[in-house]
Structure 1
């Protein structure tokens, strides 16, 4: 956790830059106003940020696909599950560990950023306080860019499967041309979890200053299964009852200048608290009786950032564009239990498991265009650094404190399962897009250098661990990530591309230093000798057409080395009779596949869209099929639209999980139908109503990504929701 002095320094920097930007812009505004008065005109504010326009930063690649705020609203997307179902069939969300899955890779192998700031994936290793990358409100987003493929040349570590690049609303997203203010209000009901929520955002501009405020609130329950058996214990197939509250706040100030500079301050907070009645873990005569086992699952993320954007207004500038962010961010995941035992170790039993990541960092890049003879260059130089602390702790109370028994070997608490870890990360990259004049062919070589350092710290909580045997060694390493991208504009609406790139992922602190268990029971440990995962990736494809008629096709092959996994073995010393689970590196893993999408809008109002995602992954040494790689999935939508209303029928289908898969449960194939519609009344400008019936025929089906682990309940307990309804209202001002 950053100390008080770091926070004071950050606040001081915030005040200084905000004041400096205001003073600088005020001086320029005064001069501009004087000149304008002399010429009898008013200086117009130039629009410098177009969040729905050109892709930026990590997403500036033909391998990325963009989802705009309007598409999010029109398709009633409020979660990663909705995104993968409606628009991106190759993007999945694993609810068991709280991570995005792209092309069969998930957890720390997929990078998630928000406004250029990485959202860490937390995994406490043994107590289920993991996830955290979904710690934002979809209603606060302006765009989502999905970057597929293994490429660390620009984003650094963790981009083995791809990246999810989130960008929050900017004032320009709400303030229309020629206006000084704008706003949006959203209301939604979702039958998947019977949630009701609303959000509002408003932005205003005065001279060269713009302010945005956005807030949202949602209250819901458990995500439904399609099981119909209630009651308690291992026969239950209905989802365990739950209640959650979710809220978020977003505040932005932007100070523009007529010379192309934009200074900003952003503050954001997201909070979700969930309480669960763990009925499937209770029984009439067991250790946990009805009403005596509750869980909690909480997420909180806070950040404060200073933002800078630059777009050159003349040819004499050192750079054509630039972007920079300095940030502080804290992410907390909590998982807990409040229960009472009736047979074994009788008495109250509680746990609160925490995983927290707090970081201070900066990132940015500059672009420059220039010519050398016949060659035209667009050079991008950028980098990032971050310092942080990862903290894990489990607190609790139970009868073992007063009446120890052999069963208490399993009940270790009020300790840390790993030391606090101080981390440092530095990365710098350079790429050059080279073309012959304005010709159709371009070649973009790129290279990135990354260095990281983990330094474990002794704490009293870690020293209370029954397996404590001194402080484990730190780890430091560096790597180079090159890439070569070729693009060819074969026609105005035909872009061909081919890329070779390398990627890497450093081990997480938990994979290195986890130390969970106790003598006489079991042991789950990290491995401080783990090596970073690396990959080579090849991809070829094409982006075709426009909004009326177009599509995309790509084929990829990725080869991974030192894949981090777990291995269970007997303990030859007998200290841990239930065995030892240890983190290891697998030698060779490969994933290959094809992705296709297309759309067509006819003049009579009919439109068709389709998308297909296929990936196949296996361990090249054991020939096992990777269970994290979802089987073939496709979406076909047919609809009709007028200027004021429209409707769509959407078929989503997936193949069965392979018999060679590492998954214990082989999810069968399925096909489901959704029916949606929308209405924009002419009498009420800016109003849009969306509604839908999902899984119209109440099909019982399973998501392969969410059924990788061994089942403790009947299969229907893990099924996806049956027939549900959703309705949303959006009013733009």
Structure 2
């Protein structure tokens, strides 16, 4: 076990030691202002409202580097799928289908943390089922939620593992599900909402309903949604089979989400609760581009399937102090169970009329606890808000690849096996943070750190016992590692409406189970895909300066950042010409850096007109080779305006993107060209029917052909066996969406 980067740690800890005589402060603390007292003589805290920071104290999103999209904004922008956020709301966000998750500042997959109600959603992957086995790619985790179940979505940008631990190299998506108070008006003890949406992009229709009831100090909430649709549209028009096909493959999917919450308010500011949630999406695709002449499979007899399945149950506790005499100002704790399962595969008959099939199953089951407590106090003219946290988790990883094979002598031994062993893992994290406000100057300094420890215990039994790569490439071993992630944040309230900030922070990512332990050996194909138990954790050190402002008529943020990463984990190809054998290994590369500028601004006038813009420019490179990182999206902007009153309104927006640049393999890789698309949305809330909202939108009004740069960054158009014509990879043309919502 090793702990790195002590120089940075020492700097932060020294600063903390100078200003944190905590052992004395609890006994000597006194309020900064003169608060009221209750009948028993206890000091009653005054309610403080902080503009621009709606995250719960101690949460991952409790930072000026975060922005929040609430349910009202999600509804206004008609956000119903992952791509909508980066197209309608925030230009800094992109969705990466290859990683089945969001991309922030050029990073995605396991380098982006996703949490739901404070519970981390693991990222699962199996490198052996990519490339030639793309139909068995079951990667992901952060794509297992339904927008109708959310009360808000927080986006945290930048490397800062002091907030969220492993995986927070590019940022975090913090999902917050509905609470009873989101539905119950102040003057009633119940509330409900029903909604239905049709989206021509995938010809899907969805329905959702949520209801909440309060009886005394007890609240209960039920929410459920169902969505049924087809393939996501593109602008291709060739409906043939095989190599020349450009239309999207026909597909059908079913998606459902269930959410239950029970909350009990107790005297003294305590609340306990129970949450249960289930998400499932099942997709079946007719893989026509792989059928027919010159292809491997028979026409109308080769289908793909993808399953996303997530369940969780949690016991929740919240506490808000009623007076400053309380030992803690606030506390939150969650004891949870979460099970994530992803499957991907295909089945049908080959061109020789032989049955064929593959299925890749990955499952991660986690038991965990997460708790934070804060204490606000004044000492020696400084106002402190100290936060401590504890995170503990125990999880089990399982993976299995099954197959129905046309070559029985070799195929079963390569496919009816686990390519990643069963792994039991344990993790422990301790967090400390202190926000120190210097009198009434408006200046605050927040030093903090998080210590993370993790342990992996692989097993060579079960489906992995027959893995042919195990004996050839060596035994697996346990892995234990630790990391310290310091942070130093400075904020200055220039005015009551404008806050400036600067932050230095360290992020880290522990290697995934797949990266450490995967084994796939194909002697006939003369290659092997191998994990590396000696991988070092990825480390990111970033600095950011920016400003958040809310003047009533104008709100937004601007930021500039630079982050340098070391020990980046990538796949390296090693070919042995003597043995005529190729190994694909995970290795650490020396360093990479990502820098950029971001801005989000909305200006609202008294006459109901609003103007808004969101800009994101990011540049990333491999510092060793000086090549641009193709995981970094090109410059993107969302520019628009609209008008609204209490009854109806509209918005006209344009999404603009520059060309993907920096391609050092221009002959084989496709650089997406720049584009500009225009969307128009409108809504109506008739006075005659209280609580009714009708909303519609026309997207890509001019039916522009365009490409997602990240989706095609690895496409090789020069290989007729590896790709389709470029029109196959286009995004949807002109589409429309309409929704009807009724609030009771």
Instruction: Please confirm whether the aligned pair reaches a TM-score higher than 0.5, indicating the same fold.
Output: yes
Which position in structure 2 is the counterpart of 1:724? 735
The alpha carbon displacement at 1:396 in A equals: 1.9
Which position in structure 2 is the counterpart of 1:41? none
TM-score (norm 1): 0.90
State the distance in 2 between where 1:384 and 1:91 align: 28
1:549 aligns with 2:554: yes
Which position in structure 1 is the counterpart of 2:498? 494
Which position in structure 1 is the counterpart of 2:385? 378
Which position in structure 1 is the counterpart of 2:139? 130
- Which of 623, 634, 637 lines up with 1:634 in the alignment? 637
Contact 2:402 2:416 in 1 (8 A): yes
- Which of 497, 521, 524 lines up with 1:520 in the alignment? 524
- Which of 574, 585, 590 lines up with 1:587 in the alignment? 590
Q: How does 1:108-257 map to 2 (within 5 A)?
A: 108-127=110-129, 128-257=137-266
In structure 2, do the counterparts of structure 1 residues 592 and 285 end up closer, same or farther at CA, with 3 Å as the change threshold? closer
Q: How does 1:292-691 map to 2 (within 5 A)?
A: 292-343=301-352, 347-401=354-408, 404=409, 408=410, 412-469=414-471, 471-521=475-525, 522-571=527-576, 574=579, 577=580, 579-660=582-663, 664-691=669-696
Contact 1:467 1:519 in 2 (8 A): no
State the distance in 2 between where 1:223 and 1:411 align: 36
In structure 2, do the counterparts of structure 1 residues 286 and 628 end up closer, same or farther at CA, with 3 Å as the change threshold? closer
The alpha carbon displacement at 1:707 in A equals: 1.1
The alpha carbon displacement at 1:51 in A equals: 13
1:77 aligns with 2:61: no
In structure 2, do the counterparts of structure 1 residues 285 and 530 end up closer, same or farther at CA, with 3 Å as the change threshold? closer
The alpha carbon displacement at 1:409 in A equals: 6.0
In structure 2, do the counterparts of structure 1 residues 133 and 51 end up closer, same or farther at CA, with 3 Å as the change threshold? farther
The alpha carbon displacement at 1:74 in A equals: 1.2
State the distance in 2 between where 1:97 and 1:573 align: 35
- For structure 1, the 5+ residue unaligned runs are 1-45
Contact 1:52 1:142 in 2 (8 A): no
State the distance in 2 between where 1:659 and 1:486 align: 35
State the distance in 2 between where 1:619 and 1:125 align: 22
- Aligned to 2:169, the other structure's residue is in SS state coil
State the distance in 2 between where 1:460 and 1:537 align: 42
In structure 2, do the counterparts of structure 1 residues 81 and 662 end up closer, same or farther at CA, with 3 Å as the change threshold? farther
Moved more, 201-210 or 184-193: 184-193
- Aligned to 2:324, the other structure's residue is in SS state coil
The alpha carbon displacement at 1:258 in A equals: 2.5
Contact 1:204 1:212 in 2 (8 A): yes
The alpha carbon displacement at 1:129 in A equals: 1.1
- Aligned to 1:586, the other structure's residue is in SS state strand
What are the superposed Cα offsets for residues 341-378 of structure 1, whole Å, 9 maximum, x if unpaired?
133xx511111210100000010100101111111100
State the distance in 1 between where 2:552 and 2:614 align: 15
Which position in structure 2 is the counterpart of 1:63? 65
- For structure 2, the 5+ residue unaligned runs are 1-46, 130-136, 717-722
TM-score (norm 2): 0.89
The alpha carbon displacement at 1:544 in A equals: 1.4
State the distance in 2 between where 1:162 and 1:63 align: 10
Which position in structure 2 is the counterpart of 1:703? 708
- Alignment length (residue pairs): 678
- Which of 291, 298, 310 lines up with 1:282 in the alignment? 291
- Aligned to 1:722, the other structure's residue is in SS state coil
The alpha carbon displacement at 1:138 in A equals: 0.4
State the distance in 1 between where 2:665 and 2:392 align: 37
Which position in structure 2 is the counterpart of 1:36? none
- Aligned to 1:154, the other structure's residue is in SS state helix
In structure 2, do the counterparts of structure 1 residues 365 and 559 end up closer, same or farther at CA, with 3 Å as the change threshold? same
In structure 2, do the counterparts of structure 1 residues 546 and 290 end up closer, same or farther at CA, with 3 Å as the change threshold? farther
State the distance in 1 between where 2:427 and 2:496 align: 41
Contact 1:418 1:514 in 2 (8 A): yes
State the distance in 1 between where 2:483 and 2:53 align: 34
State the distance in 1 between where 2:53 and 2:592 align: 37
The alpha carbon displacement at 1:156 in A equals: 0.6
The alpha carbon displacement at 1:554 in A equals: 0.2
Which position in structure 1 is the counterpart of 2:18? none
CA RMSD after TM alignment: 1.8
Contact 2:236 2:727 in 1 (8 A): yes
State the distance in 1 between where 2:195 and 2:645 align: 23
